[in-house]
């Protein structure tokens, strides 16, 4: 069996439906598709990477796991030469890159808009930029998970295209609507940390004579979250 997944990839795997045909973009070691094949969740996997070294690593790990015949390997930028229709890909996983790069990769492809295609996205940074892109480009965020790995927090997003553009508030962009609604303990810590960060930024900007209206609006929105109730009313926050 291939290495157990870290919490970030485990969260991504949890969004995959049984019998899936997955494409793992930026696969590197191919831990994610190998896990999905070995656990019987996926039937077939396309593993791609823009760099030769990571793709070779993926091929070697697949051979070691005896999974080569259930995988296809593609050296390409994002989804450009992936030809996902060839294998009937229904799950596109893009994890371990920045939010802007993930957004660019999605924006370059029409296949992501195909009915029934699920996008599972794990930005390493700028999740708010990815949410902004998804909302504006007609992708619906069905669910999210917030996980901790190596002392850092990561969002993992499940999304599908429905063609309806949406607008999120600054707080929803930053923290994720589904995370706000679920209000788990990890999220509460995360929201409180952001509140401190925004307060520090407001003080710094005030000292520098810079405008603070946007940050104050964000601060007020964070303060109004259910998880902040404890501080303001003495009640525990609830979903
Ligand atoms: C940090 S690794 C992430 C590996 C794995 N997906 C994960 O989340 O653990 C990022 C991988 O994305 C690949 N990558 C970066 N830009 C890419 C692009 N535009 N298209 C495809 N792969 C890309 C890199 O070569 C690298 O192997």
Comparing 26-30, 55-59, 145-149, 224-228, the range with the smallest average pLDDT is 224-228
Q: How far is the centre of ligand 1, averaged over its atoms, from the C-alpha of 98 (Å)?
A: 10
pLDDT tens track for 71-91: 999 999 999 999 999 999 999
Count of positions (residues) in the chain: 239
Tell me the average pLDDT across 40-50: 98
Residue 199 has a pLDDT of 98
CATH 3.40.50.150 fits 7-167, yes or no: yes
Evaluate if residue 232 carries a pLDDT over 50.
no
Q: How far is the centre of ligand 1, averaged over its atoms, from the C-alpha of 86 (Å)?
A: 22
Tell me the average pLDDT across 131-147: 98
Q: How far is the centre of ligand 1, averaged over its atoms, from the C-alpha of 28 (Å)?
A: 6
Q: How far is the centre of ligand 1, averaged over its atoms, from the C-alpha of 110 (Å)?
A: 20
Residue 50 has a pLDDT of 98
Give the CA-trace dihedral at 7, 9, 15, 17, to 10 degrees. -120
pLDDT tens track for 15-42: 999 999 999 999 999 999 999 999 999 9
Residue 1 has a pLDDT of 65
Q: Structure pTM?
A: 0.94
> C-alpha angle 12/16/21, rounded to 5°?
120
Residue 3 has a pLDDT of 72
Work out the mean pLDDT of the chain and round it to a whole number: 95
Evaluate if residue 236 carries a pLDDT over 90.
no
Give backbone dihedrals phi and psi of 216, rounded to 5 degrees, phi first: -65, -40
Evaluate if residue 234 carries a pLDDT over 50.
no
Q: How many CB atoms lie within 10 A of CB 10?
A: 16
CB 144 within 8 A of CB 158: yes
* Backbone torsion region of residue 144, taken as left when φ is above 0, otherwise alpha when ψ lies between -120 and 50, otherwise beta: beta
Evaluate if residue 238 carries a pLDDT over 90.
no
pLDDT tens track for 93-108: 999 999 999 999 999 9
Q: Is 33's C-beta closer than 6 angstroms to any atom of ligand 1? A: no
> What residue ranges do the domains of the chain occupy?
7-167, 169-239
Q: Is 77's C-beta closer than 6 angstroms to any atom of ligand 1? A: yes
Residue 230 has a pLDDT of 63
Predicted confidence band of residue 203 (pLDDT cuts 50, 70, 90): very high
């Amino acid at each position: 069996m291939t290495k157990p997944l870290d919490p970030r990839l485990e969260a991504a795997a949890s969004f995959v439906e049984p019998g899936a045909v997955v494409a793992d973009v930026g696969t590197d070691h191919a831990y994610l598709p190998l896990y999905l094949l070995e656990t019987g969740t996926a039937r077939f996997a396309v593993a791609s990477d823009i760099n030769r070294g990571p793709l070779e690593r993926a091929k070697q790990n697949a051979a070691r796991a005896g999974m080569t015949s259930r995988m296809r390997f593609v050296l390409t930028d994002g989804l450009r030469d992936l030809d996902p229709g060839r294998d009937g890909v229904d799950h596109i996983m893009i994890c371990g890159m920045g939010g802007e790069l993930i957004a660019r990769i999605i924006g370059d492809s029409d296949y992501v808009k195909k009915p029934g295609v699920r996008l599972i996205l794990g930005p390493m940074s700028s999740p708010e930029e990815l949410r902004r892109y998804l909302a504006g480009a007609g992708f619906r965020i069905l669910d999210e998970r917030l996980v901790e790995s190596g002392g850092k927090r990561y969002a993992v997003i499940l999304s599908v295209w429905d063609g309806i553009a949406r607008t999120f508030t600054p707080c929803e962009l930053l923290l994720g609507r589904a995370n706000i609604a679920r209000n788990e303990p990890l999220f509460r810590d995360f929201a409180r940390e952001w509140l401190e960060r925004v307060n520090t930024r407001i003080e710094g900007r005030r000292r520098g004579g810079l405008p603070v209206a946007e940050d104050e609006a964000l601060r007020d929105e964070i303060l109004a979250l259910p998880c902040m109730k404890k501080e303001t009313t003495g009640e525990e926050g609830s979903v």
